[in-house]
Amino acid sequence: MSGPKAQTAPSRELILANHEFPGEYMIKAFGPGGRGFYERVVACAHAVVDAERVAPSQRSTRSGAKICVTLTLHVERVEEIEAIYAEIHALDDLMLIL
């Protein structure tokens, strides 16, 4: 028997209350430095929206052991945000997502 589906994105009501569509939305994903984490996070966004609607950037810790990938997205609908969160949540080495 399976339990309730784990929520991967902020609630739809919260997103709709705080963002206008179409518009800009930012997601931050934290993970290990190196090993392609940045590329995998960006690929998650590209799996949902066209590359020209994704502006990625990254910052790493001084040691380079961990990075934060920031996706500034131009989204048309709340469903796109939910789908991108779900894609990123599937990454095995994801440490935190905001």
CATH number of the domain residue 34 falls in: 3.30.70.260
Q: Is residue 19 situated within a structural domain?
A: no
Q: Is residue 86 situated within a structural domain?
A: yes
pLDDT tens track for 48-80: 999 999 999 999 999 999 999 999 999 999 999
Q: Is residue 12 situated within a structural domain?
A: no
| Residue 37 backbone dihedrals phi, psi, to 5 degrees | -60, -45
The pTM (predicted TM-score) of the whole model is 0.87
What residues make up the domain containing 71? 24-97
Q: Is residue 1 situated within a structural domain?
A: no
pLDDT at 7: 57
Q: Is residue 51 situated within a structural domain?
A: yes
Domain count, the chain: 1
- Residue 98 reports pLDDT greater than 80: yes
Q: Is residue 35 situated within a structural domain?
A: yes
How far is residue 49's CA from residue 3's CA, in Å, rounded to a whole number?
A: 30
How far is residue 4's CA from residue 7's CA, in Å, rounded to a whole number?
A: 9
